[in-house]
Amino acid sequence: MAKTEVILTSNIVGLGAESDQVTVAAGYARNYLFPRRLAIPLTMANKKRIEALKKRRAEREAQELNTMKELAKVLSQVICNIKVKTGEEGKMFGTVTAGTIADNLRTQFDISLDKRKIVLEKPIRALGDYEVEVNLHHDVKITLKVKVESQTPLPELATAAAATGEQKKQGAQPEQQPPKTEKRKGKTVKE
């Protein structure tokens, strides 16, 4: 199989970055890279263009790094609130994934972030506060605060919190309830 050397003019996943000199199959270069202007053949005249391509690549990477550093400053101060459906006992229906977090960042703060940059070992399956790692750039990594809340207030927790709050205010002892009884074939049994 014939091989040829080319200079890439844009980033190609799995092959290389802009201004890289790579060896590829001749048919791949002729039929795919050259017609789409993703690469140029390696000639003496084109070797001189490598410097211009490297300069353009360095400028783009510097701008990308600055943009990600600014985004990191914003994201480190943000708390992403995610509302989820829960059952009566506070158990979540479904999970919170990296895609869910990315969608909520987009809707709440108008920050578009690729879900692949959000690192979750496992999806979040319980209510509470979490810290999630976000890899914005290979040099920029931050932790994002995520708060998972129920869409509806939990009835048991809300009433229990209100009752304990009232008891603390009044300093009263909790009321004792009579023991539960049930009737079985005409007999009363205490539980």
Position 28 in a domain: yes
The residue among 13, 45, 66 that closes a domain is 66
pLDDT of residue 103: 94
Position 176 in a domain: no
pLDDT tens column, 3-60? 999 999 888 989 998 888 999 999 999 999 999 999 999 988 888 888 888 888 889 8
Residues 25 and 62 in one domain: yes
The residue among 66, 91, 119 that closes a domain is 66
Going by the DSSP 8-state scheme, the letter that residue 32 receives in this structure is I
At 165, list the tokens.
Answer: 């709050």
pLDDT tens column, 96-130? 999 999 999 999 989 888 999 999 999 999 999 99
pLDDT of residue 19: 86
Residues 60 and 84 in one domain: no
Res 1 pLDDT > 60: yes
CATH of the domain at 99: 3.10.430.100
174 burial type by CB count under 10 A (0-12 exposed, 13-18 middle, 19+ buried): exposed
Supply the range of the domain harboring residue 31: 3-66
Res 166 pLDDT > 80: no
Q: Please provide the average confidence, as pLDDT, over all residues in the chain.
A: 84
pLDDT of residue 3: 94
Q: Give the closest residue to 140 by CA, choosing from 75, 72, 59.
A: 72
CATH of the domain at 55: 3.40.5.10
Residues 46 and 26 in one domain: yes
Residues 50 and 84 in one domain: no
Please compute the mean of the pLDDT values over residues 163-174 and round it to a whole number.
Answer: 53
Which run of H or E residues covers position 161?
Answer: helix 155-170
Q: Give the closest residue to 22 by CA, choosing from 42, 2, 36.
A: 42
Residues 36 and 60 in one domain: yes
Please compute the mean of the pLDDT values over residues 163-189 and round it to a whole number.
Answer: 60
Going by the DSSP 8-state scheme, the letter that residue 172 receives in this structure is P
Position 168 in a domain: no
Residues 54 and 13 in one domain: yes
Position 136 in a domain: yes
Res 161 pLDDT > 90: no
Residues 18 and 48 in one domain: yes
Position 177 in a domain: no
One DSSP character per residue, 12-26 reads: BTTTB-TT-EEEEEH
Buried residues in 69-105 as b, exposed as e (16+ CB within 10 A): eebbeebeeeebebebebeeeeebeeebebebbbebb
Question: What span, in angstroms and rounded, lies between the C-alpha atoms of 172 and 175?
Answer: 9
Position 71 in a domain: no
pLDDT of residue 189: 59
Res 191 pLDDT > 60: no
Share of the chain above pLDDT 90, in %: 46
Between 177 and 152, the more confident residue is 152
Question: How many folded domains does the chain comprise?
Answer: 2
pLDDT of residue 157: 52
